[in-house]
Amino acid sequence: VTTELGVIIFRIAFWIYLAAAVCYIGYLIGRSDALGKVGVSLLILGLLANTGSLAVRMVASGHPPFLNLYEYMISFAWGAAVVYLALERMTKNRSLGSFVVPLIALFALLACRLPSDVNPTMPALKSAWRIPHIASGILAYAAFGIAFGISIMYLIRDRAERKGKSFWTSRLPSLEAIDRITYRTVAFGFMLQTLLLITGAIWAQYAWGRYWGWDPKETWGLVTWLIYAAYLHTRAIGWRGRKSAVVAIVGFIATIFTLLGVSFLMSGLHSYM
Amino acid sequence: VEEVVDYTVLQVTKNPGIPVIYAGFGLMLMGIFISFYMRNPAPSTKPGVSL
């Protein structure tokens, strides 16, 4: 078992995710239930390949696949596929996938382009807190990615309704339903993101001797958390629909900046990640 | 060359506030859980729409 094998398996997972994304889009545009079924099957198959790639990498490197950006991204694609499949089952609505599965394929593609070397752990960072920290990060960001995809869907349907175009209104769930699903997804992600910040602070205390140090990753993590807190607070004062969808979209842009932008553009204690 | 002295810098800290900090973390998570999962989600604009 080698790291290269894991990388190859993940590349296969990417192609399956891409095929699943094409089927999901075809399902929506062509209103073809058969394509929808193929899409789900491919997504599950891709998830299995993704799981295989994670398992092979764990065995080959001897640590959980959480140590560098490549490992984080293949875990993130995995988390997004799992959370999406659970959401599809809960809502019994497959059209969500037409907006979410292409995002999963995009993230898998991004992972394929990252350097996949195995890095040794810095001694200061060896801690049991890493596992809950990164696991909650994967699930929280996956939920935010899904909320982003279905918020775009909301805006498309909202625009179609105002312009009286039936192409989208006949294919997408009602605005109320989309709005509600986004809210539930953000609320799920928010709790996990809070756990992400807390476990990160405790880990930082052990590794660097302070809970919080305004490192760029920490600062942007807080900015993202505040945006989602604003999403939930503004709903409590009655925001719904379009306004909420825009906040969820802004939140995910901040999430991407926290996850990737900070790693590539800024230097700090998290720059290994 | 002057004599080289080997030394180590070690710092010992004691923080009696740790239980308070952890209790704060726990309370925060519990509060979020209760407000978003235990009670009904924020009312929808139309009745009968739920996840």
Q: What's the pLDDT at A255?
A: 93
Instruction: Supply A269's token pair.
Output: 């204690």
Instruction: Supply A37's token pair.
Output: 């079924």
Q: What confidence category does residue A23 fall into, taking pLDDT thresholds of 50, 70 and 90?
A: very high
Q: Using a CB-CB distance cutoff of 8 angstroms, which residues of chain B are in contact with residue A183?
A: 41-42
Q: What's the pLDDT at A267?
A: 66
Q: What's the pLDDT at A153?
A: 93
Whether B48 shows a pLDDT value over 50: the answer reads no
Average pLDDT score, chain B = 76
> How far is it between the farthest Cα atoms of chain B?
85
Q: Using a CB-CB distance cutoff of 8 angstroms, which residues of chain A are in contact with residue B11?
A: 209
- Cβ contact B36–A91 (<8 Å): no
How far does CA A167 lie from the centroid of its chain?
28
Which range has the worst mean pLDDT, A21-35, A69-83, A256-270, B35-49?
B35-49
How far does CA A76 lie from the centroid of its chain?
6
Q: What confidence category does residue A217 fall into, taking pLDDT thresholds of 50, 70 and 90?
A: confident
| Cβ–Cβ < 8 Å for A234, A244 | yes
Compute chain B's Rg from CA coordinates.
Answer: 26
- Evaluate if pTM is beyond 0.90: no
Instruction: Supply A22's token pair.
Output: 């094409």
H-type helices in A62-174, by residue range? 69-91, 97-113, 130-163, 166-169
pLDDT in tens, A60-110: 887 777 778 888 889 999 999 999 999 999 888 899 999 999 999 999 999
Average pLDDT score, chain A = 89
Report the distance separating Cα A91 and Cα A171, nearest Å. 15
Whether A122 shows a pLDDT value over 80: the answer reads no
Q: What's the pLDDT at B1?
A: 66
**How close B3 comes to chain A (CA, Å)?**
31
Whether A194 shows a pLDDT value over 80: the answer reads yes
Whether A186 shows a pLDDT value over 70: the answer reads yes
Q: What confidence category does residue A270 fall into, taking pLDDT thresholds of 50, 70 and 90?
A: low
Per-residue pLDDT, averaged over B13-29, amounts to 89
- Cβ contact A179–B45 (<8 Å): yes
Q: Using a CB-CB distance cutoff of 8 angstroms, which residues of chain A are in contact with residue B13?
A: 209
Per-residue pLDDT, averaged over B19-48, amounts to 76
Q: What's the pLDDT at A85?
A: 93
Whether A125 shows a pLDDT value over 90: the answer reads no
Residue A233, CA distances (Å) to A53, A226, A264, B29 in order = 39, 10, 31, 16
| Sign of the C-alpha dihedral computed for residues A147, A217, A121 and A134 taken in this order | negative
Whether B43 shows a pLDDT value over 70: the answer reads no
pLDDT in tens, A196-207: 999 999 988 888
